[in-house]
């Protein structure tokens, strides 16, 4: 099965070309894909949904 990924930037990102991370959540919702928005064809990091939730909770308590 192949999910087409829809990438999104953080609401804290702007369009000035600075450092930016994009994420994509496939319809299965079991993994999160992460990439550098300045190099969309470059390497990607894939983590489990549970790992992503733990990460977001650690860097943004109350999220």
- What residue spans define the domains of the chain? 1-47
Distance CA 49, CA 57 (A): 12
Query: 1 pLDDT band (50/70/90 cuts)?
Result: very low
Single pTM value for the model? 0.75
Query: What would the pLDDT profile of 45-60 be if each residue is shown by its tens digit?
Result: 999 999 999 998 998 8
With 0-12 / 13-18 / 19 or more C-beta atoms within 10 angstroms meaning exposed / middle / buried, residue 39 is: exposed
Query: What would the pLDDT profile of 8-45 be if each residue is shown by its tens digit?
Result: 987 767 667 667 889 999 888 899 999 998 888 999 99
Q: What is the pLDDT of residue 3?
A: 61
Q: How many residues does the chain have?
A: 63
Q: What is the pLDDT of residue 10?
A: 75
28: how many CB neighbours lie within 10 A of its CB? 9
């Amino acid at each position: 099965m192949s999910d087409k990924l829809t990438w999104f930037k953080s609401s804290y990102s702007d369009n000035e070309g600075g450092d930016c991370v994009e994420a994509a959540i496939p319809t299965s919702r079991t993994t999160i894909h992460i990439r550098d928005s300045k190099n969309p064809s470059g390497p990607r990091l894939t983590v489990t949904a549970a790992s992503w939730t733990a990460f977001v909770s650690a860097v943004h308590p109350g999220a």
